[in-house]
């Protein structure tokens, strides 16, 4: 029986502990807010559309290696008087063949023509391969750009959430301060009515309370404004922060330490973006250089032609334009080489090489700055934790001192000005702790942005 009682007691204590922990942990974390942003924010959808666009461009570049198949069909009506001479076959010409002097009938007739041509570039000194790699680099660059955008969006969300928590904490702080001053005002009012204290004490206490009440209105408006700014990113209405959130915001840094879960092998999105940018320019440069070399193509074609011209007679009837048909096919190998592009492509190659060099230098510059900023951020975080521990202890001592001085004032041992000075010290200690907490969380955001790892903040903020 005693064993059952102990087991039931242990179970009850365990459930009570779990309930208290659930009450202390805020329900609306930064991670839950980010899930809403991922689902609703149109900026992310715009970035995904750009990635999909680059993927389609990559497939379009790859499809250029496939045989190019062209087909045409014509039905025309016109003269067929031939002419002697020579010409360059530039775009925009049309062909006429015939001799009206040897034919009877009309000098106008219908014609029918259809053709299908296949052209397959089988060898171009690796130009197509370089174009494919350039398209792949451009796609990866867009993916990295999207990841960098997501990283900045996470940073903006975290900062707005911190601002909302900061404004709520200040609002609660000013409420407590106003309550203390209201209590002092009530005490001075009673002492003044009983003749134990001068009326000036009551007026001074009332003046201090009214100032605190004005600050209450300011922080209330600030809290509402930061809440609206946070809602703009989330896309849906969110609950107002409660005392649990503020308590967690202020006390969490006192007993937890920041640890990044990002693997050392994971590259920052901006570094990846510069790296892929350099790769794109490099492969584009090689593709331009090889475009000046000849290309070898397999050619094949089939054509069918009909005309209204008989053996010795020409007719202008539409149906006769499909008669007297002849068909031909042609296959072969062709080599094309644009010599004049050699000089032009050489200049284009130099320009792309310089762009490659620029992207590589940007990568090196950001990599060096990133590592330095990460080290500086870790040092600053460590010192800020020490600051928070000291400001928290200062609040404890100031609260104890205020309680003792309040008792001495009630006993007539000190003046109201001395009590208000102690109250201001307590007020300043609380304010300093709130400011230090805000700076700690902001520094965590900076560290998370530098390491591209927001897991810690998503879980604990």
Residues 338-369 have pLDDT tens digits of 777 777 778 778 888 888 888 888 888 888 88
Q: Give a yes or no: residue 102 inside a domain.
A: no
Residue 36 has pLDDT above 90, yes or no: no
- pLDDT number for residue 433: 92
- pLDDT number for residue 1: 43
Longest dimension (CA), the chain: 139
- pLDDT number for residue 441: 92
Q: Give a yes or no: residue 243 inside a domain.
A: yes
Residue 20 has pLDDT above 70, yes or no: no
Residue 222 has pLDDT above 50, yes or no: yes
Q: Give a yes or no: residue 289 inside a domain.
A: yes
Q: Give a yes or no: residue 5 inside a domain.
A: no
* Per-residue model confidence as pLDDT tens digits over 77-113: 888 777 777 777 777 777 787 777 777 778 888 889 8
Computed over every residue of the chain, the mean pLDDT equals 81
Residue 10 has pLDDT above 70, yes or no: no
- pLDDT number for residue 41: 87
- pLDDT number for residue 260: 59
Residue 17 has pLDDT above 80, yes or no: no
Q: Give a yes or no: residue 14 inside a domain.
A: no
Point out the least confidently predicted range of 100-104, 216-220, 420-424: 100-104
Residue 189 has pLDDT above 80, yes or no: no
Strand partners of residue 314: 105, 309
Pairing assessment for the beta strands 104-105 and 295-307 based on DSSP bridges:
unpaired
Output the 3-class SS for 4-33. HHHHHHHHHHHHHHHHHHHHHCCCCCHHHH
The model's pTM: 0.77
Could you tell me the CATH number of the domain that includes residue 231? 1.20.1600.10
For the chain, how many structural domains are there in total? 1
The whole domain housing 354 covers 28-80+120-294+337-460
- pLDDT number for residue 264: 54
* Sequence-separated (6 or more) residues with CB below 8 Å from residue 358: none
Q: Give a yes or no: residue 15 inside a domain.
A: no
Q: Give a yes or no: residue 112 inside a domain.
A: no
Residue 397 to residue 426: CA distance in whole angstroms: 9
Q: Give a yes or no: residue 313 inside a domain.
A: no
Point out the least confidently predicted range of 75-84, 263-272, 402-411: 263-272
């Amino acid at each position: 029986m005693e064993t059952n009682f102990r087991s039931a007691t242990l179970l009850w204590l365990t459930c009570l502990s779990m309930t208290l922990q659930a009450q202390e942990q805020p329900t609306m974390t930064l991670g839950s807010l980010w899930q809403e942003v991922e689902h609703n924010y149109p900026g992310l959808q715009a970035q995904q559309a750009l990635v999909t666009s680059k993927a389609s461009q990559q497939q379009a570049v790859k499809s250029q290696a496939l045989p190019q198949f062209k087909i045409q069909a014509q039905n025309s009506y016109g003269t067929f008087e031939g002419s002697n001479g020579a010409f360059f076959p530039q775009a925009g010409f049309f062909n006429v063949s015939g001799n009206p002097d040897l034919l009877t009938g009309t000098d106008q007739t219908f014609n029918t023509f259809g053709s299908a041509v296949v052209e397959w570039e089988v060898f171009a000194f690796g130009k197509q391969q370089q174009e494919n790699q350039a398209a792949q680099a451009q796609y990866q660059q867009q993916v990295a750009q999207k990841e960098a955008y997501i990283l900045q969006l996470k940073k903006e969300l975290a900062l707005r959430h911190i601002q909302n928590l900061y404004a709520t904490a200040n609002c609660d702080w000013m409420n407590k301060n106003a309550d203390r001053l209201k209590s002092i005002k009530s005490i001075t009012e009673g002492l003044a009515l009983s003749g134990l204290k001068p009326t000036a004490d009551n007026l001074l206490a009332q003046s201090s309370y009214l100032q605190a009440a004005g600050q209450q209105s300011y922080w209330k408006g600030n809290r509402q404004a930061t809440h609206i700014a946070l809602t703009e990113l989330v896309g849906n209405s969110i609950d107002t922060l409660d005392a649990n959130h503020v308590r967690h915001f202020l006390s969490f840094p006192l007993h937890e330490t920041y640890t990044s879960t990002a693997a050392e092998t994971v590259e920052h999105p901006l570094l990846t973006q510069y790296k892929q940018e350099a790769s794109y320019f490099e492969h584009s440069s090689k593709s331009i250089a090889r475009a000046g070399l000849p290309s070898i193509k397999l050619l094949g074609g089939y054509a069918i032609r009909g005309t209204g011209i008989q053996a010795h007679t020409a007719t202008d009837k539409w149906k006769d334009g499909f008669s007297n048909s002849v068909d031909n096919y042609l296959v072969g190998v062709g080599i094309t080489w644009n010599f004049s592009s050699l000089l032009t492509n050489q200049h284009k190659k130099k320009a792309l090489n310089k762009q490659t060099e620029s992207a590589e230098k940007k990568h090196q510059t950001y990599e060096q700055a990133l590592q330095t900023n990460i080290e500086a951020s870790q040092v600053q975080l460590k010192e800020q934790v020490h600051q928070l521990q000291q400001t928290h202890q200062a609040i404890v001592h100031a609260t104890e001192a205020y309680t003792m001085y309040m008792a001495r004032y009630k006993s007539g041992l000190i003046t109201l000005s001395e009590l208000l000075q102690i109250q201001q010290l307590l007020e300043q200690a609380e304010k300093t702790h709130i400011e230090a907490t805000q700076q700690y969380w902001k520094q965590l955001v900076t560290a998370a942005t530098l390491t591209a790892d927001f897991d810690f903040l998503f879980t604990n903020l």
